[in-house]
Amino acid sequence: MTPRNAGKQMLSHVGAHLGLVLASMFALFPIAWVVAMALDQGSEAHPTSLRLWPAEPSAEPFRRVLAHPTEIEGISFFDLAVNSLLLAGGTAVACIALGSLAAYAFSRFNFSGRRAGLVGFMVLQLFPPVASMAPLFVLLSALHLRTSLFGLALAYASGTLPFAIWNLKGTFDTVPRELEEAAVMDGCGPFRTFWQVVLPLAAPGLAVTTLFGFMAGWTEIVMAWTFLEDPRTFTLSMALYNMVGQYGTTRPWSEFAALSLLLSFPVVVTMLLLQRFIVSGLTAGSVKG
């Protein structure tokens, strides 16, 4: 590389850094604001000056939220977190278990109605849930599943399945068929081939789909607050909503901010850890569309 070129590259890197720093500031500003609020135990609902670092930072809001996340007696932060994990995990598992099987069939088998089925799964996604929520409520009530985390996970999974199937089909499409053919030659049945040969190779797509299913279950609130009745099944995101629902002005903003951060933390960390997978998982899903 000639010195002139290096200089030019440096210069263009300065421009790139400038753009990226600006974009990062845009991305981080609201998050920094929430962090500042969460550390400011005096913060009320309506601050009058902008401080991105509180005058007297303290972990007190976090302590209070951990000790006393809701006004409902007998429910600890731990219980809520376990329920959130069960609900989000259940949604993700249902999504992956049902979605990968269906996606594999769509990717590999040639059967009548294949195209129609694939389009059908996608078309369902276009229907806004506002109209189907009332019948779903009645249906799950009749099955005695409505007030359980299982029923809710099922409802979430039905919403995330189309994306899961679509994305996983794309992933499976990229797995070379030769490996399966070799496995079949070795005497593997279709399910064993799927389980032992194809699934491991589709790891990135599986990771992304799992993450999406998990996030759907981890963060949803409107359905959760409509369906669930027993406090023993309540989740962290419900506790968060409870803090600010229309007239909920009794708890300071610092606690809302602290709980927001606690709620976001696991998802953010997973997302950052899986970043590489997400990138390749998304391409796999879309390359062949």
47 binds another protein (CB under 8 A): yes
Whether 260 contacts 244, CB under 8 Å? no
**Residue from 127, 176, 178, 187 that binds another protein (CB under 8 A)?**
127
Shortest Cβ 59–another protein spacing (Å): 19
Q: Shortest CA distance to 51 belongs to which of 34, 68, 74, 76?
A: 34
Tell me how long the chain is. Answer: 289
Nearer to another protein, 58 or 148 (CB): 148
Structure-block tokens of residue 17: 């850094």
31 binds another protein (CB under 8 A): yes
Which of left, alpha, beta for 223 (phi over 0: left; psi -120 to 50: alpha)?
Answer: alpha
| 136-165 binders of another protein (CB under 8 A) | 136-142, 144-151, 154-155, 157-159, 161, 163, 165
121 binds another protein (CB under 8 A): yes
82 binds another protein (CB under 8 A): no
Shortest Cβ 123–another protein spacing (Å): 7
Distance CA 112, CA 110 (A): 7
Nearer to another protein, 54 or 117 (CB): 117
| 166-185 binders of another protein (CB under 8 A) | none
Beta-bridged to residue 40, according to DSSP, are 57
**Residue from 66, 133, 188, 201 that binds another protein (CB under 8 A)?**
133
Residue tagged 């490996």 (tokens): 179
10 Å CB burial of residue 283 (0-12, 13-18, 19+) is middle
Distance CA 277, CA 283 (A): 10
**Residue from 59, 72, 179, 182 that binds another protein (CB under 8 A)?**
72
Contact stretch for another protein (CB under 8 A) within 59-67, 175-183, 213-221: 213-221
Structure-block tokens of residue 166: 């679509």
Nearer to another protein, 56 or 113 (CB): 113
